[in-house]
Amino acid sequence: MESLKLGALEVWPPVVLAPMAGITNAPFRTLCREQGGGLFVCEMITTRALVERNAKTLKMIRFAPQEKPRSIQLYGVDPVTVGRAVHMIADEDLADHVDLNFGCPVPKVTRRGGGSALPYKRNLLRAILREAVRNAGTLPVTMKMRKGIDDDHLTYLDAGRIAVEEGVSAIALHGRTAIQHYGGTADWSAIARLKEAVPEIPVLGNGDIWSADDAMRMIAETGCDGVVVGRGCLGRPWLFADLAAACEGRDDRARPTLGEVAATMDRHATLLAEAFGNEQHAVADFRKHVGWYLKGFVVGADLRRALATSSTLAGLREGLAELDAAQPWPDGADTPRGKTNPRDRVHLPAGWLDDPYEMAVPCADAETDTSGG
């Protein structure tokens, strides 16, 4: 396999940690990065909040000293604001790479014309990409998107050609439509079609990668240049060690015992406490990870509940000490985690589907308190 080339950046192995709201903060990125190389993207932030120097947003894009390259994903709907945000990142040396989010399927984003709804407006997409690339200087600009809104409104091939024409360095495609949300099965054949349509730049595949073997199968079947891993690494930071081994042609895979998993859980919560500066907040934030870490292991309901309701590091460690440390890695543990249900419909602005070429910039409130990826 070859390194992933994004402008002047060279990434090995060609693996990207997908930005996930409330997940891919500095502590989680640290755990993943320690397992193997790649590109580790911070939580998605809005361009409006960045240019307004929102304190919470600026805190979210803090990187640890050892984090290289530094990667930021932006969500934006207005070409001018996106351009200002990218210029700020480049001018103030806030990151080494900028990714643009056109894949978020959550209703509060799509109903305002953002995320996975936006590529339907081809001219708006082009204007945003043009402003981003123009203001990026030497920083590579990439984009992440879905196949489209639904099977009747597919946009990924048009969006891919627009991206090439506007100087985007790479495209990541999640093989689902917005209406699928995270349900059903990712369509890897769409990734192959996009790769054929845009041979000029790297194409990364995303969707249903639960193990390193899944990643190698996706690359073999689609010809994509690398993979983007999201839900597959929830409670599984060592997946990046497996991915590095697989990319190097090695068969070894991390299969931690429950005791080793418990040690990782302890370290994760500790890193969160150091980053947040508030132990109670950190342990509360860690609760959502407990079920992901323990998936597949035999752990009693009472102990699971105690771990998922801990309020202090001491209480969490007390529960972790009760786990059967010698219990081996369970068979069949590399299975779906996180959200899985499809949606009945995609919430869109009134008249959004009337004209795919209308230059309709969503209103400013499209960037208020958004999350997703």
What's the pTM value of the predicted model, to 2 decimals? 0.94
Range 160-165 contact pairs with CB under 8 angstroms and sequence separation of 24 or more: 160/194, 160/197, 160/198, 160/203, 161/197, 161/198, 162/122, 162/125, 162/126, 162/129, 163/129, 163/198, 163/201, 164/198, 164/200, 164/201, 165/126
Note down pLDDT in tens along the chain; length 373 residues. 899 999 999 999 999 999 999 999 999 999 999 998 999 999 999 999 999 999 999 999 999 888 999 999 999 999 999 999 999 999 999 999 999 999 999 998 999 999 999 999 999 999 999 999 999 999 999 999 999 999 999 999 999 999 999 999 999 999 999 999 999 999 999 999 999 999 999 999 999 999 999 999 999 999 999 999 999 999 999 999 999 999 999 999 999 999 999 999 999 999 999 999 999 999 999 999 999 999 999 999 999 999 999 999 999 999 999 999 999 999 888 878 766 778 889 999 999 999 999 988 877 667 765 444 3
Q: Which of 104, 224, 233, 247 is catalytic?
A: 104
- Classify residue 70 by its DSSP letter: -
**Cα separation values, 268 from 29, 95, 367, Å:** 10, 24, 30
User: Is 104 annotated as catalytic?
Assistant: yes
In this prediction, residue 66 carries a pLDDT of 87
Range 295-303 contact pairs with CB under 8 angstroms and sequence separation of 24 or more: 295/235, 295/333, 295/335, 295/337, 296/329, 296/330, 296/332, 296/333, 296/335, 297/258, 297/261, 297/323, 297/327, 297/330, 297/333, 298/324, 298/327, 298/330, 299/258, 299/323
